[in-house]
Amino acid sequence: MAKYSPYESGQDPLSPNRNLSPITSEIDGHGRMLVGGCLLSELADRYGTPLYVLDEATLRAACCAYRNALDKYYGGESLALYASKANSSLVLSSIIASEGMGLDAVSEGELLTALKGGVPGSKIVLHGNNKSDQELCFAYQNGVTIVIDNQHDIDRLSEMIPQGKRPANLMLRFTPGIECHTHEYIRTGHLDSKFGFDLDQLEKVLLQLRSSSWAKLNGLHAHIGSQIFELEPHRDLAAVMADALKLARELGHPVEDLNVGGGLGVKYVESDDPPSIEEWVKGIAEAVTEACEVRKLVLPRLICEPGRSLVATSGITLYRVGSQKKIPGIRKYLSIDGGMSDNPRPITYESKYTACLVDRPLSSAEEIVTIAGKHCESGDVLLKDLPLPYCRSGEVIGVFGTGAYNSSMSSNYNRIPRPAAVVVNCGQADLVQRRERPEDLLRFDVLPDRFVELG
């Protein structure tokens, strides 16, 4: 079999979402793989496995790509918000804040993480189709823009904010009715969606908010989905949003922000071919500009919400190979010390990834294997039909593109502790998430006295 390595598939340092591996990936004199100047197998030995590894340089390069493209192609003000549902942590919030970006959150936990990480409330928006009173209150108290998703949001805020107090900063979300080719669970812009007001409800809602002293409508929001490789749906979105902007301003709302969401895809396997960050921003910026010119609208501040395309490629998960099982004529399984609890995407979405042996990434493939997780589920399989050199138990496998929706969607299924996480940069590795221990999983269990007595 031929050699295969994600390191050899080509690198686009200006648009990390088009790479399989982080932009700092390199091979040392012994043929071993480094990221951020750190030897991956040494990180596995030092911190244990499974281990989330985040390359700081790749993340910052993606942030820079969004900022530069917005400045280059859009004539008005602009702001990129990190969609923190992709991966929420103090260190990520700190990096995002230092890059001058904002952040979007969908819970009090994500809000708290962002604020503690240094993102100012004025650069945060709160999403969600069923926000609690506590979440709404916390956002309001911290100057966070609240995305109005439905009538329930309006009703709750109208009761919570006393007459004469500072009005809440609001953004109105609606479903634009635009389909795109992606997994049905991550399409959010079509009409049959749990998110946002329908287009035919807009005028009624805008009139209601106009007469609400507690409300200050600053922006409009729409989002069409995730892991999208097409540019045309985003261009179509601009026209729909410009119509909504014109209506809002005609009804007396000083709307300054137009939030087109995110959704740009990333390269998980060699056959994936997402647009570059610059191409994506250029298409949207030009479409919004044209749509506003046609309708004689002053350019709004253009906001976008990248998540996966910012952080996915910067992440690698390291596992150690354990047992092996060969079924003659059918399949060979290599079992690892993690699986669906640290990466639920394959069993949830049938997501595909790329991987290699981190100390032999350039070795010729000698067999086709399936990488199985250790959980008590037949479907706990991370990679099928992966070409690898003959692998020994104890070797370290690196799975690429795991910076988004792995840590944030992790669980304690089978009461397995969550992994540790490190950030690497210029040869230095910093622990940013401690590994859970089995005893940590008992912290919130409560055993009533009567059960102790029975024992």
Catalytic residues: 376
Of 277, 306, 311, nearest to 83 (Cα)? 306
